[in-house]
Structure 1
Amino acid sequence: MRFFSDPQGTRPKVLIVLHQETSSPGRVGLELVRRGFTLDIRKPRFGDTLPDTMADHAGAVIFGGPMSANDPDGFVHKEIDWIRIPLREEKPFLGICLGAQMMVKHLGGSVSGHRDSLVEIGYYPLKPTETGQALMDWPRKVYQWHREGFDCPNGAELLASGPTYPNQAIRVGPAAYGIQFHPELTHQMMVKWTTKAAPRMELPGAQQRRDHFAGRFVYDPAVRKWLDDFLDMWIGTAASPVMHSRLKAAE
């Protein structure tokens, strides 16, 4: 999977935070590049630093990983603390799975497993809240790969829910979003995840490998459309970025 490079530094950058040596921003990265952004990919787990300000970036995305937002590792705590920067500067921020859980931890919320040890690995139902429905259309099912979920902390709005893990999408302020599901997933990534992490499909509540690919055929077109609509709302294009502003208290 190849991404556009910008050696002259003439295109707006989106900060991409990944957590494994072979991790990819997948379809989210491809769509951002298609919109004219260049990707500034960093992996704090392997020693990369994160910026002190978002002044040089149009937005930031923290992706998922096999670790937990509750882990004691130094890079986990650094990323959780760093989220204060895009939140304070009201720059577009997106947390996907682990990234969303990190934002919740930053806001004082909790991240934990299901009380019955159920996981979501495969395609599961998604239902927008009233606030979420007013914001945009949502797919009926989305691809999941997690065994922990997050609560909805103070200051966050719940946008979408699910039957097993009730908090699936949240918004914080005018430009920060956290989602539990994986719209970045490409077919190549699904092959890799279901091969290398095959034992996880034996966990309670997980779907079998064949169901992942059958589900992708049925549900992925709606997920792809959702991602396109979401990026229009969240960051726009390099030529026409979205200008977020906090709603007045009186409104």
Structure 2
Amino acid sequence: MSQQAAKKEFPKSIYVIQHLAFEDLGSLEDIFYQNGFRVRYFEAGVDDLKPALEYEGLTIILGGPIGVYETEDYPFLKDEISHLKSRLQRNLPTLGICLGAQLIAHALGAKVYAGAHKEIGWSKLNLIDANQNLLAPLEDIEVLHWHGDTFDLPENAQLLASSEFYPNQAFQLGEQILALQFHIEIMAENFEKWLIGHTCEIRSANLSIAKLREDNHKYAEQLEQSCANVMRNFLVNIGAI
């Protein structure tokens, strides 16, 4: 048997932990389908997350409006964090977005805490060493930010991107673990769900729903195109394609 034939095939399902119904994979889902993957969702707070966090294929942890540190109010976070720590110790392929990125940072021993102000809306990233950066396709691209918490950079992690207000917007640990504070997955046609679901947060932050909608029309389609290139880079990195 050749060495190539003996190589273990990467699992063709992607497991996704969802903390909020309308914050799904967005444009990522079609990218994964186009590359021959199936997708299985797990609902945090309802489903047992252990199978998703012990899975040897790619597991994605999506965003949500709760904080990593709110374990008394949301006890399921304790198990999610515990299983995530074990997963990261095993260096299994993992992508975290927004809350998912904060959970990864926390599980790696970094501090997660409330930021000075909420960062909600579209703006460009400052990429670190852009030419050799996994996120290089996002250079000069407006991305969607939607968070109030932030995190310190975990030990041994490589910083990939910053923003005007928050120095740690994205990091990777080795080839298998990627954490994105911003929302790379947003899909133009689904954005109205965010405006409905987050209306209380938008109004409390004195933001314009009309402006957020206008910016979505301006920027989301280009982000979808660039997002596809970032995800292909990541899938190549983890040996999935």
Distance 2:186 2:197 in 1: 15
Question: Matched residues, percent identical?
Answer: 24
Q: Residue 200 of structure 1 aligns to a residue in which SS? A: helix
Worse-matched range after superposition: 63-72 or 133-142: 133-142
Displacement of 1:84 after TM fit? 3.1
Matches within 5 A, 1:231-250: 231-236=231-236, 242-243=238-239
Deviations 1:197-245 (A, max 9, x none): 22222344x6421222222233224322331111111114xxxx8528x
Encode CA deviations 1:77-119: one digit per residue, 9 max, x unaligned: 222222234433433211000000000000111112223xx21
Could you list the runs of 5+ residues in structure 2 that have no partner in the other structure?
1-10
Deviations 1:41-66 (A, max 9, x none): 112310323226333x2x11000011
> Aligned-pair distance for 1:169?
0.7
Alignment of 1:170 onto 2:163: no
For residues 76 and 189 of structure 1, do their structure 2 counterparts lie closer, same or farther at Cα, with a shift above 3 Å needed? farther
Letter in 2 for 1:28: L
Structure 2 Cα separation of the partners of residues 242 and 149 of structure 1: 26
Residue of structure 2 in register with 1:208 after alignment? 208
Structure 2 CA distance for partners of 1:180 and 1:60, relative to 1, 3 Å: same
User: Between Structure 1 and Structure 2, which shows a larger proportion of helix residues?
Assistant: 2
Matched residues, number: 224
Summarize the alignment of residues 168-207 of structure 1 with structure 2, pairs less than 5 Å apart: 168-204=169-205, 207=207
CA–CA separation in structure 1 for the residues paired with 2:108 and 2:59: 17
Aligned residue in 2 for 1:71: 70
> What is the SS of the residue equivalent to 2:54?
coil
Checking the alignment, whether the CA contact within 8 Å between 2:68 and 2:102 is kept in structure 1 is: yes
User: Is residue 153 of structure 1 aligned with residue 154 of structure 2?
Assistant: yes
Q: What is the distance in 1 between the residues matched to 2:138 and 2:162? A: 11
Q: What TM-score comes out, normalization by structure 1 length?
A: 0.80
Distance 2:32 2:191 in 1: 20
Code of the aligned partner of 2:132: A
**Is the 2:160–2:169 contact (alpha carbons within 8 Å) kept by the matching residues of 1?**
yes
Letter in 2 for 1:66: P
Output the CA distance in 1 between the equivalents of 2:137 and 2:34: 22
RMSD: 2.2
Q: What is the aligned partner in structure 1 of residue 48 from structure 2?
A: 48
CA change 1:49–1:112 in 2 (3 A) is closer
Counterpart residue type for residue 145 of structure 1: W
Question: Secondary structure of 2:137's partner?
Answer: coil
Unaligned runs of 5+ in 1: 1-10, 245-251
Where do 1:38-117 residues align within 5 Å?
38-51=38-51, 53-55=54-56, 57=57, 59-72=58-71, 73-115=74-116
Contact in 2 for aligned 1:54/1:89 (Cα 8 Å): no
2:153 is aligned with what amino acid?
C
Equivalent position amino acid for 1:48 in 2? D
Q: Is the 8 A contact 1:157 1:171 kept in 2?
A: yes
Shift of 1:29: 2.0
Offset of residue 21 of structure 1? 4.5
Q: Which amino acid is 1:168 matched to?
A: Q
Cα shift at 1:23: 4.5
What TM-score does the superposition give when structure 2 sets the normalisation length?
A: 0.83
**What residue identity is the alignment partner of 1:243?**
G
Shift of 1:168: 0.7
C-alpha distance in structure 2 between counterparts of 1:220 and 1:24, whole Å: 15
Q: Which residue of 2 aligns with 1:134?
A: 132
Q: Distance in 2 between matches of 1:49 and 1:220?
A: 31
Contact 1:14 1:39 in 2 (8 A): yes
